[in-house]
Amino acid sequence: MDLAKAEMSTSSVSKGCFVFKPSAKKRKTLSLEDHFTDGCEGAENSEIRFKLCQDLWDTIKTNTEILQDELNRKILDSLLDFTRKCSSTRQHSDWASQMRASEIPTAALMLGVNVPDHDMTFQSLSDLLQQSVTPHVASVQAKECGALKHLMKRILERLIGTVVAVDDEEEEEAEQTSAQLHKSVNCSLSALCDWYNAKTKKSNTGTPGKKRSSPVRDDPQQPPVVIIFKDLEAFNPRVLQDFILICSRYIERLPLMFIFGIATSPSTIQHMLPHSVSSLLCIELFQSLSCTQHLATVIDKLILTHQFPFNLNSKVMQVLISIFLYHDFSVRNFIKGVQVQRGFCVLDPFFVDAFQICGKGTFCVVLVQLALLEHFHSQPLSVLCCKKKEALLNVTQLSQRDLEQIRQLPSFKRYVEKQEAQEQVNLFTDDTHLKEVCQKLIKNLHKYHKNYYPVLRCLHVLMSSLPRYPLGKQVRELHLICLEKNVSENEDYHSAMKLLKMLAKDQLIVLLQRCAEILQPVKSKRMKSALVQLEDLLVKFKQLDTVAAETPPVEDSITSPVKDLQKKTDLFQLQKTLLEMNESRRSKKLSPFEVLRNEALEFIDSLVKSHLSPPESQTLYEVCYFSSSATVRRHLNATPRISIQAALTNPYYYLQNDSLKTEDGTVSNAAPDICIAYKLHLECGRLINLYDWLEAYAIVVSAAEGKNPDSDNFGRVEEVKHARFIQAVSELEFLGFIKSTKQKTDHVARLTWGGC
């Protein structure tokens, strides 16, 4: 603004404070596409890659939600039937005959130790209950119910939908808060009973002038009141006991039902509740699928399919599975890991608010989502990681730079080495010819995936029927073996094929029929041809029974070597007879079943050798396989203490403030208080004198404020500095760098050896 205009705008009779809003343009908010293209390798096709990410993310997100519903459907349907049965029993005359009047129907839901998945299950359960059973559902967690009054308050607020007053002070505050909305309600179950009676009476009021044909207790319009305890083990046992005792007094007036979410064992109820309290509950146990069964389903539906063009390297898969099996057992976190491996996390709101919600989830998942966008973000050739039609179209739009990157791929170099000399020259010099060849290679890559997964499932069906599971019990174990090397060259594979030759006819027929069911829906020429051959083999097996029934059994000849052993003979004659028996066994003619069995196993072996080669053997596999296992391991195997020490030692790396730039090993006096306190505590021994620490901190802060070192006020401990120091020390104690000690009252003990 011009100075003259400023003076005119501020001219006034009275003195005052004038505020001028900056005339600069509003700060532009970066979109998801801007975040994706910022620093992106190969910016010329970044928009296409972003759109591919978006489309694929929408597809996998939809499939994930459907899969989760399928996994929880059985247990949720059982719980819904239980609530309906209890509600119907209470409303009819057989209530007293099936359970005592003081018993509260309770469902003990065993969900396993995969705690991060429980919220999603309870949310689905609440939605289904409200849709088909009762609108009165309240879910509570232990962290918000430390005392009985808090538990009662949370339940009443979520059922009634109004402010609940616990004591006189809260009642006054509640009246002020809800003056314009609702009247405050006292925190008691009698208030809930009054509300429920008014609610059901209003719902049961029929058409004016029409008499009711049945009493109120027979009316289905009296839905139960369901209370869900999400994490039963974390609740205070005394609070839970008192609440159950109170509820048992109101069970005749209020149709209460409990659902206990249990992560460990059903015996938790007996450990938390004495018999006098647990006898007031009519408990029925519900067991959900184990986390390993969930994992097997997730891998089967989301990974072992050619529907998604992007795939995971064996080492990356192994890291994700290890994290699942040895850390959190969370299917939800595993799915997020798979999603971010495929490069879709940038489009999920979870990625945008990653740091804001990292306290609610697993922090390593946040790191995966922030780190493993790398494939689509840093790999320009990921533009070919899409469905076949799109990929063939994108090949024609590749730039000169993209074609040079294709020529540098290891798999493409191996392909070129196998070609004739003139073809090699054309591939390295003629861009048009290279695009034509790339289209053919992309088609072959999609055919490979289309044939790989059906044959993998067929082989797993055969191998999982063998004792000790030579190639793994789960299909994911066989998949990892096939990703690493040719499974046909594996010693366990050869031993497994020998075991298959020992199967009975009925067992082998059943396994071959299951293989035919796997190949049936596959739309591939090779798989259709394989299905025809497999069906022919099954027909031949069935014809064996007909031939065996028509052919009479042939009796053994009396003059056989076995009969000769029954006669008296000398040692020479015995040796001669045994040699004849051995020769007869070697030259024994195979039965029709054995010939057909060998033919079937040879057919399976040919399928394995043709279609289960590792992905590294396919040309251009790099465009759709993420293989940076080192990046995965570095981000997933988090080291929080080292990260915190690095942040406290070098705050500029995180804050990006030029005033914080310093030489190595030093901290600017303008750094945050916790960084200054941390640096000073590194200069102390095992025990730190708090007063000396405070004085050193005050001197550093005074220098940051620009005070004269020779003045009397320099380094003086003022109230504000004292408070800032106390806060910094408290934060260091919370992070685990120091702790209070009983050796000296004015000292703290240091818990670290030094910097990072």
Residue 391: its pLDDT value, please? Answer: 92
Residue 753: its pLDDT value, please? Answer: 67
Q: What is the rounded average pLDDT of the residues 551-580? A: 58
Task: List the single range of 52-56, 443-447, 735-739 with lowest mean pLDDT.
Answer: 52-56
Which listed CATH number (3.40.50.300, 3.40.50.720, 3.50.50.60, 3.40.50.10260) goes with 99-201+220-289? 3.40.50.300
Residue 567: its pLDDT value, please? Answer: 56
Residue for token pair 């922030």: 370
Task: List the single range of 2-6, 150-154, 255-259, 275-279 with lowest mean pLDDT.
Answer: 2-6
Task: List the single range of 2-11, 107-116, 118-127, 444-453 with lowest mean pLDDT.
Answer: 2-11
Q: Which two tokens stand for residue 567?
A: 């006669």
Q: DSSP readout, 179-213?
A: SSS---EESSHHHHHHHHHHHHHHHH--STT---S
What does the pLDDT look like over 218-232, one tens digit per residue? 345 678 899 999 989
Instruction: Indicate if the pLDDT at residue 101 is higher than 80.
Output: no
Find which of 119-128, 332-341, 568-577 is predicted with most confidence, using mean pLDDT: 119-128
Residue 30: its pLDDT value, please? Answer: 56
- Angle at the Cα of 74 from the Cα atoms of 69 and 79, rounded to 5 degrees: 105
Task: List the single range of 29-38, 219-228, 542-551, 587-596 with lowest mean pLDDT.
Answer: 29-38
Q: Which two tokens stand for residue 719?
A: 């109230």
Instruction: Indicate if the pLDDT at residue 200 is higher than 50.
Output: yes
Query: Which one has a higher pLDDT value, 68 or 638?
Result: 68
CA–CA distance, 291 with 495 (Å, rounded to integer) = 31
Residue 536: its pLDDT value, please? Answer: 94
Q: Quote the distance between the C-alpha of residue 383 and its chain's center.
A: 27
- Angle at the Cα of 31 from the Cα atoms of 26 and 33, rounded to 5 degrees: 145
pLDDT band with cut points at 50, 70 and 90 for residue 176: very low
Instruction: Indicate if the pLDDT at residue 552 is higher than 60.
Output: no
101 within 8 A of 280, measured Cβ to Cβ: no
The proportion of the chain whose per-residue pLDDT surpasses 70, expressed as a percent, equals 71
90 within 8 A of 224, measured Cβ to Cβ: yes
Taking the domains of the chain in order of start, what are their residue ranges? 99-201+220-289, 451-548+591-614, 640-750
Q: What is the rounded average pLDDT of the residues 324-349? A: 51
**pLDDT mean across residues, the chain:** 77
129 within 8 A of 269, measured Cβ to Cβ: no
Helix axes 505-519, 431-463, angle to 10 degrees: 150
pLDDT band with cut points at 50, 70 and 90 for residue 89: low
Residue 1: its pLDDT value, please? Answer: 42
pTM higher than the cut 0.85: no
CA–CA distance, 694 with 717 (Å, rounded to integer) = 8
> Nearest-CA neighbor of 373 among 616, 628, 619, 621?
628
CA–CA distance, 648 with 729 (Å, rounded to integer) = 13
CA–CA distance, 553 with 370 (Å, rounded to integer) = 72
Task: List the single range of 528-537, 584-593, 689-698 with lowest mean pLDDT.
Answer: 584-593
Cβ-based neighbours of 56, under 8 Å, separated by 6 or more:
308, 309, 310, 342, 343, 344, 386
CA–CA distance, 250 with 256 (Å, rounded to integer) = 9
Cβ-based neighbours of 292, under 8 Å, separated by 6 or more:
325
Residue 185: its pLDDT value, please? Answer: 61
Residue 392: its pLDDT value, please? Answer: 93
CA–CA distance, 40 with 37 (Å, rounded to integer) = 5
pLDDT band with cut points at 50, 70 and 90 for residue 481: very high
Task: List the single range of 294-298, 511-515, 522-526 with lowest mean pLDDT.
Answer: 294-298
Cβ-based neighbours of 383, under 8 Å, separated by 6 or more:
45, 48, 49, 52, 394, 398, 402
